[in-house]
Structure formats: structure tokens, C-alpha cells
Copies of this chain bind each other. A is one copy, B any other.
Amino acid sequence: MSRTIADEGEFGLIAAITEGLTMPDAVTVGPGDDCAVFAPTGQVVVSTDAMVEDVHFKKVWSGPHDVGRKAVGSAVADVEAMGATPLGVVVALSAPAETPTDWVLEFTKGVRAECELAGAALIGGDTTRGPVIGVVVTVFGDLQGRTPLLRSGARAGDVVAYTGRLGMAAAGLAVLGRGFRSPGAVVRAHRVPEVPYGQGRVASESGATSLIDCSDGLLADLGHVAAASGVAIDLDASALDVDEAQKTVAAAIGGGDPLHYILTGGDDHALVGTFAPSDVPTGWTVIGAVQDGEASVTVDGAAWSAEAGGWRHF
């Protein structure tokens, strides 16, 4: 019998999770006291994100390392979307008592690996029993003197540009849901997002007027920007590059337009911003324009089909 977290006890488990952690200078007290302590240089941004087994991931589709990476990546993307620099995360994990210790240790390795990519420190957490695996990552970032990039700043005359991936995770979920494990690129994208770390600061320093991370789907997330800014956004379908893997998936499972994944697929956490046309940063792709008009998001001047919406969790 392999050991379970019930064998470890709460304090043993926490000791294993935090073993060998090192803290950056900005974190003055790490895990182990009532609170962690950090010293920001500017305003602090904060966001919290919950992931629940069989709602956001399935253990048969995603290993513990994947789950740890995805929980951190999807949370830190919100810090990037404010134009802030990731600083730290705290992680609350609930799990059944019979969960193998190895599952939690691999999950922790995933959390720590993604934190390292993001430039964020794991500064605290909580562990408890629960009927399924539940992960809540709360993330903090430092604006370092920059102004927060809000959803409400888009102006007519701006262009819309993004960096990162779009619609890959949704294509992965579509094939996994039908019992396939390929194409590998989309399955991997479902398991772990590839968050464009550092690009939030780049967008801010380039003069972005608004920024959001694409978690619910491009149309849904730009809908939030359009509503908050009071503008109309029109996307140029020809600028949205469909990946070969997305074409393969769309052809295999019914022949629908693979653009659907790009427009409505969530969970990739691309960063999407609005900029004056001369301010678009290197490496970002222009995909649309901001116009005066009623708050709306269109594709080539027309509404996308009714099924084009974000993921609804309830």
C-alpha cells in the first residue's frame, strides 16, 4: 500500500510541500507562521481562482503535475492581465483522506514549477479534507508604480491585439471528451495553459488602453471589455490563425468551423489588449478594431452564431 495523506497528517504534509522552498527578497516571511509577509514596491493586485475535480479537470485526463501547473497558471494570468508583475501565490488544497501522498507531492511539484515560470513565490497555503480534489490559488502581483490596466479603457480607434494561444485547450477538451488522446498539442493545451508571462508588463509599458486574460473565450472576454468601455469591437477572421491541430479536431468531430474554438474556447489564458495602432508590442498579433457604437463584439461585421459564448460554470 502506498502512503496516503491521512498517514502523513496535516503538519507532515505541509512540511513535505514546503521542503526546500526559497523566498525572493520581496517576501520577508515565508510559509510557517500565521501569515506570510511581503513588501511590495507599488500597488498590489490580487485574484482568487478555484479548480474542482470533475468540473475543471478530470484525474484520468490530467496528472497531478498538470493540475498544479494549471491551477497556478490560470490564476497568475489574472495578474498579468492587470499589467502587474507576479509576486506570490497561496494555495488551498482539499483532498480525500485516501489521496496518495505521491499525488499531492507531484501536484506540489507542478505548483512550484509553474510558480518558477511565472516568477511568483509559493508563500503559503492550507490543506484540508474534502470529498474531491479542490484547489484555490490566490495570487498577488506588484504594479511597481504602473497604473492598473482595466477592462474599461478601450477607445474607438484602438486596435485589438493578443499574445498567447487561443482555442487550443477547448479543442483538447473536445477530443478528450470523445475518448481520444491526440492531437498531442491540443491535449497538452487542455492540461496546462501556456501563459505569456511578462507580457502584461510589456503591454502596460507599451501603452495598452485595456487588457484582459482570455479565460472564458475570446468573444466572451472581449464582451466584458466592450461592456466596461462602452465600445464596439470587430474582429477580423482572416487575422485569426487556425492551428493545424484545431483543423484536425474540427474535421474529426463533425466538420464544424475550427474558428469556433478560437472565438469561444476558454482556458488558454492568452492576453488580449487594446492599443493605439502605433503602440502594439512586438510579438502581439492585431486581430480587430475598436469602434464607437453599442457595446458588442462582432466578427467581420456580424454577430457570431448563438452557440458562441463563454463557459458558464453553473
Contacts and interface: CB of A to CB of B under 8 A. Distances in A.
A106 interface: no
A92 interface: yes
Given A43-B38, A46-B140, A136-B92, A313 B129 contact: yes
Contact of A45 (B35, B97, B136): B35
Contact of A43 (B28, B78, B92): B28
Given A36-B45, A47-B34, A82-B33, A6 B138 contact: no
A80 to B, nearest CB: 8
A93 to B, nearest CB: 8
Contacts of A93: 50
A113 interface: no
Given A90-B48, A128-B52, A314 B36 contact: no
Copies of this chain present in the complex amount to 2
A43 B134 CA distance: 30
Contacts of A213: 34
A140 B37 CA distance: 9
Nearest to A44: B38
Interface stretch (A143-151, A176-184, A185-193): A143-151
Given A46-B90, A50-B94, A125-B48, A151 B314 contact: no
Interface string A71-94: 000000111011010001011111
Contacts of A40: 40, 44
Contacts of A34: 47, 77-79, 81-82, 151, 211-213
Interface in A85-126: 88, 90-94, 97, 123-126
A143 to B, nearest CB: 7
Interface residues of A, number: 68
Nearest to A40: B44
Give the 7 A-B CB pairs with smallest separation, nearest first: A35-B45, A34-B81, A138-B138, A136-B136, A48-B90, A34-B78, A50-B92
20 contacts: A9-B312, A28-B43, A34-B79, A35-B84, A36-B46, A37-B44, A37-B143, A37-B148, A39-B44, A46-B124, A48-B90, A48-B125, A48-B136, A52-B94, A52-B131, A55-B130, A90-B138, A128-B313, A129-B314, A130-B132
Interface of A: 5-6, 8-10, 13, 28-29, 32-40, 43-52, 55-56, 77-79, 81-82, 84, 88, 90-94, 97, 123-132, 134, 136, 138, 140-141, 143, 148, 150-151, 211-213, 228, 312-314
